[in-house]
Amino acid sequence: MKRVKFKLDEVLKKNGNLTQKQIAEMIGVRPEAINELFIDHPRSIKKDHLQKIAEALNINDITEIMELEDVEQ
């Protein structure tokens, strides 16, 4: 089985140790939405949030933000 893994913690570290609050303010979303991605437990994800994060951080490859990983059942 596969699951989507979000790597926002790694992305923020690579971009000057941005905080969750800073990226939320940069892209105009609730800090709670960023926190769910940061801890890799989103209830749902809005495509426009990912697009805004990618644009704000100059990311061209979505695998920098998320990836599929195998999960043991």
- Tell me the pLDDT tens digit for each residue of 38-71: 887 777 888 999 999 999 999 999 999 999 999 8
Phi-psi region of 3 (alpha: psi -120 to 50; beta: other; left: phi over 0): beta
pLDDT score of 58: 94
CB atoms within 10 A of CB 61: 7
pLDDT at 25 (0 to 100): 96
Q: What is the pTM for the complete model shown?
A: 0.82
H/E element holding 5?
strand 2-6
Confidence of residue 22 (pLDDT cuts 50, 70, 90): very high
For residue 36, pLDDT beyond 90: no
For residues 25-49, b (16+ Cβ closer than 10 Å) or e, as one string?
eebebeeebbebbbeeebeeeeeeb
What domains can be seen in the chain, in order of their start residue?
2-70 (1.10.260.40)
